[in-house]
Amino acid sequence: MAEPATVDRGIQSLLAASNHLKSSLEKSKAIGVALERTSPRFDEIEQRLPSLEAAVRPIRADREALVAVGGHINRAVGPAAAVLKVFDAVHGLEKSLLSDPKNDLSGYLAVLKRLEEALRFLGENCGLAIQWLEDIVEYLEDHSVADEKYLSNLKKSLRGLREFQQEKARLDGGLRDAALDKLENEFRRLLKDNSVPLPMASPSPSLGEQACIAPSQLPVTVIHKLQAVLGRLRANNRLEKCVSIYVEVRSSNVRASLQALDLDYLDISVTEFNDVQSIEGYISQWGNHLEFAVKHLFEAEFKLCNDVFERFGSNVWMDCFSKIAAQAGMLAFLQFGKTVTDSKKDPIKLLKLLDIFTSLNKLRGDFNRLFGGAACAEIQSFTRDLIKKLIDGAAEIFWELLVQVEIQKQIPPPSDGGVPRLVSFVTDYCNKLVGDKYKSTLTQVLLIHKSWRSERFQENQLTVEILRIIKMIEQNMDSWMKAYPDQTLAHFFGMNNHYHLYKSLKGTRIGDQLGDSWLKEHDQYKEYYATVFLRDTWGKLPSHLSREGLILFSGGHATARDLVKKRLKSFNDAFDEIYKKQSTWVVPEKDLRERVCQQIVQAVVPVYRSYMQNYGPLVEKDASSSKYVRYTVVALEKILSSLYIPRPMRYGSFKGTPPSEKLRNDVDLRRTTSAVV
C-alpha cells in the first residue's frame, strides 16, 4: 500500500497533464479555424509554386556553379546598363529636336550632334552588349544552371533585341530623320527669305549701259547658317537633297529676274517665221539679254555657289551651278540661236549669224570660266554645236553670193529705168560686210571655216571676193542695158545705175579698193548717158517751136495764127508723148533727179516762155485757144520739175525696212523674179 504522499503527487501530475491537454486542444481548434481562413492563400501559392520554383532554381544550384555564373553576369550587365543609359539620354533630346530650328539654329545643331554621337555609341555598343548577354545564356545552357523554359525565354528576348539593333533607324524611333527634315526645311526657308529678285529698272534695250540688276547676294550671316546646316545634313548623307533645294530656289530666282526682259521670243520655232528679217529685232535683243544674263545673273550665281558649297569640294558647287544655269534658261538662249541657224538661207541671215557669233565670241571668256567645268557638259556641247552651225551657215551664204548675183543677170531689167533692188541691195550689203561692224567677224568666221577644211585663207580674200561681186554687178548692168528694146530707156537706166555705183561706193572701203579711176569712170558714164538721154528726148521739144516763117507773115495775123497753132499743137503732142512714156520712170537718187529735172526745165521752159510771149497772143484770143495752149509756163515748169519721183518706197534694201515687213522676194538673191523690177 502506497504512501499517501506519493499518491498525492500522482494526482497532481494527472491534473496538470489534463489541463495541458485541454489547453492544447483549444489551441489546435484555434489553429484549425485559422487554417480554414488561409486555405485560399495556400491554394494560390500552390498554383504559383512551379513557376517560382523554376525561377529560383538557378539559385538552388550548387555553390561553385553560382560563383562561376556571377562573374559572367557582372561582365555582361555593365555594357547593357551603359546602353540603357544612352537610350534614356536619346529620349531626353526629343523635345529639343522636335522644335523649330529657326528659333535657335546653333543650339539645334548642337543637340542634333549630340543625338548623332549617342546613336553612334548605340550603333557601336548595342551589338556588343547583346553578344555578351548571348554568351551568358549559352553558358547557362552548357552548365545546366537553368531549366530549358527559362533559357528559351531569354533567347527569344535576345533575338528581338538583335533584330531591333540591326534596324538602326529604330534606335531613335525616327527622331533623327524628323530633325533632319526640319533642317532641310530651314535650309529652304533661309534661301527663299533671302533670294529676292530685283525688278528691271527700265525696259531699256541697252542693258550694257544699265546698272547691274541681279538677285541680291545672300548676307554673310545667312551663308554661314547655310554652311552649318549643310555640314550636319552632309554628315547624314543628305547633301544631294540640299543641292536639289538650292537649285530649285536659286534657279527660280534667276528666272524671276529675267521675267522683266520679256523673253517669250526665246521659245519661237522655225515654223513661226518666214525669214530672219521678220525676227531681226529679237536677234538684236538676244545679244543684249544674253550678255546681261551671263555677266550679271549667272556670274552672281557662280560666285554664290562657290561661297555656299566651297567646303564640300569644287565638284559639288560646280554641279550645283550647272543645274541652276540649265534650269534658269541658259539652254533656252542657246536654242534661240540654233533656231536662227535653222531658218531659211538669205543674205540678211548672214548678217544675223555674224551678230550672234559676235555676241558669243564677246562672252567667250565668261563662257569658259562659268561653263567650262565637266558639270556643264550639256551647255558646252550645245554651245559648240551652235558655233559650228553659225560658222558653216555664214560661210556657205557668203561663198554663194557671187553665184547668186550672177544668176540675176537673166532677169529682165526694171521697166521704170530705176536702180534694180539687187544693185542697191548688194552695194549696201557689201559695204556692210567690209565695214567696221562685220569685217573682222566675217574674216574670223571664214578663217575658222577654212581651217576646219584644212584650206588656207588669204588675208585679203574677203576683199577680193567682195570686189568680184561688185564687178559682177557691173556685168549685170551691161546685160540689162542691152535687154531694153528702147534705147532711151536703156540710157536712162545707165545714167541711174552708174551714178548709184559711184555714189554708194565713193568714200567707202570698197571704193578705195576699186580706185579713183574706177569711180571716175562710172561718174563719166553717168554724165554721158544723161546727156544722150536728154538730147534724144526732151532736147527735141524746142525744135517744135520754130519761128521760121513767122517773120514773113508778120503782116498777116491769120496766116501767122495758123502757123503758131500748128507748131503749138506739134509741141503739145510731142510733150504729151514723152511725158506719158516717162511718167512712170524714176530717178531714185534725189540729187540726180533734181539735176536732171533742172536740165530738162532749162532745155524746154525758156524756149516755151519766149515763144508764148511773142506768139501766144495770136492764139490766146481765139475761141479754140485751149486746144493749142494747154500749159502755162508755170504749169509746164512745175510738171517738168516733178518728174521721176519714186512711188512709195519699195522695200528691199537694208535701209528703211519696216519691222513688221517680211523679207520677201525683193531681197532674196535666190529668187528668179522681181529682183530688178
- Cα separation, 658 vs 677, in Å, equals 20
Q: 206: phi > 0 → left, psi -120 to 50 → alpha, else beta; which?
A: beta
- Pick from 411, 582, 418, 402: which is nearest to 500 by CA? 418
Structure confidence at residue 657 (pLDDT): 36
Q: At what angle do helices 105-142 and 220-235 cross, to 10 degrees?
A: 10
Over the chain (677 residues), what is each successive 10-residue block's mean pLDDT? Answer: 41 45 50 51 53 49 57 59 52 62 80 66 55 58 58 59 53 70 91 78 46 62 92 89 94 90 90 82 92 92 93 91 93 95 92 96 95 92 97 96 94 95 95 95 95 90 95 96 96 97 96 95 97 96 86 60 89 95 95 97 95 85 78 94 80 34 35 28
Euclidean distance between CA atoms 100 and 179, whole angstroms: 9
At residue 649, the pLDDT reads 47
**Residue-wise DSSP of 622-660:** STTGGGT----HHHHHHHHHTTTPPPS----SSTT--TT
For residue 663, the model assigns a pLDDT of 30
Q: pLDDT value at position 34? A: 52
Question: Cβ of 605: how many Cβ atoms within 10 Å?
Answer: 17
CB 501 within 8 A of CB 473: yes
Contacts with 599 (C-beta within 8 Å, 6 or more apart), sequence order: 530, 534
Angle at 37 between CA 32 and CA 40, to 5 degrees: 120
| Predicted pLDDT at 314 | 87
* Cα separation, 348 vs 31, whole angstroms: 128
Residue with cell 501530475: 13
The answer to whether the CB of 297 falls within 8 A of the CB of 254 is yes
Q: How far apart are the C-alpha atoms of 321 and 247, rounded to whole Å?
A: 8
Distance (Å, whole) CA 492 – CA 577? 17
Site of grid cell 541657224: 341
**Residues in the chain, total:** 677
Grid cell for residue 63: 555553390
Q: How many CB atoms lie within 10 A of CB 517?
A: 7
Centre a 10 Å sphere on the Cβ of residue 464 and count the other Cβ atoms it contains.
Answer: 10
Q: Do the Cβ atoms of 249 and 633 come closer than 8 Å?
A: no
Judge whether 469 and 398 are in contact, CB under 8 Å: no
Looking at residue 481, its pLDDT comes to 96
Alpha carbons 677 and 666: distance in angstroms, whole number: 9
